Each structure stands twice: as C-alpha cells, then as structure tokens.
Amino acid sequence: MKVRCTSNSPKDLPNDFPLKRIWGEDTEGRRFPLLVGKEYAVYGVTITLGLVWYYVRDEEFVYYPVWTPSNLFEISDSSLPKSWRVGIHDTRGRDDVGFILSFPEWVADKYFYDKLTDGNDEQVSIFNGYRKLLDDA
C-alpha cells in the first residue's frame, strides 16, 4: 500500500482533531514532517482517537514508522501485501479500539511497536525486512 501526501498542515484535519493530545500544548505553526506530493509506503494501519492512521516513515524517520492521520494522504496504491493480517489489541480502557492491519509479527504482538521504538534488535530487524519489501513494491 502506498499513499501520496496531500497536506502536512493540521488545518486540513477535522475540527475536533485532538492536536494537543499528539503534540502537547505547543501546536501553533506546527506541521507534520511530510513532503506534499511525496509517495510513502504504508507499514501498518490503525484506528485511534476515532480516525484512521497510517504508519509511514516521515521526514524525521529514524528507524521506525510513525502513525500519521490518513486525512493528510490520498491512496495511490491500494494493494496490500499477502502476508498482512488484521488484529485487535487490548487497549486497557483507553479510548482507541486497538485495531491493527500490518505484517504478522506486529499483529501477533501488541507490544511490537513499543519494542520497535525502543530499538529492540529483534523488532528492528523484522521491521527492516518488511521495510525493504514494501519500499521496493
């Protein structure tokens, strides 16, 4: 799946979008680190805070994808890898639903993303394998 960025401005998000929940109090003048017109590979899809989010490597990418509102993109290639799965992770009472669509290791382990962002070697290696496949697709 690939998406093309149509905006990096929070002004193009729904009026009730919880910017302060994402960025804290300092939201004035902020933009998402995306290049308008650029195509991004999608590494996962989630539903959180009542919105669909894509996990993409934005312009601040270090070694993992970040969840970014789908409202900032148009789908340029809707094909999904055959290996992808759907899962629901327990959210322990938070106001999101825990939906995830991604590669099997992420779907099977509700802590996969936490381990990935912590730099766990196993999760980084797994992600990098899928990243190469998805970036080249």
Q: Report the pLDDT value the prediction gives residue 97, as an integer from 0 to 100.
A: 60
Amino acid residing at 72: L
Q: Is 13 helix (H, G, I), strand (E, B) or coil?
A: coil
Phi, psi of 55 (to 5 degrees): -90, 110
Q: Report the pLDDT value the prediction gives residue 25, as an integer from 0 to 100.
A: 61
Contact of 84 with 44, CB cutoff 8 Å: no
d(CA 135, CA 137): 6
Amino acid residing at 104: P
Q: Report the pLDDT value the prediction gives residue 61, as an integer from 0 to 100.
A: 80
Per-residue pLDDT of the chain (137 residues; tens, 9 = 90+): 999 999 998 888 887 777 666 666 666 678 889 999 999 999 999 988 778 999 999 999 878 999 999 999 999 999 999 999 999 887 665 555 678 999 999 999 989 999 999 999 999 999 999 999 999 87
- Closest to 133 measured CA to CA, from 68, 84, 88: 84
Overall size of the chain counted in residues: 137
pTM value > 0.85: yes
The domain locations on the chain are: 2-136
Contact of 84 with 102, CB cutoff 8 Å: yes
First-to-last C-alpha distance (Å) of the chain: 9
Q: Report the pLDDT value the prediction gives residue 62, as an integer from 0 to 100.
A: 76
d(CA 101, CA 123): 17
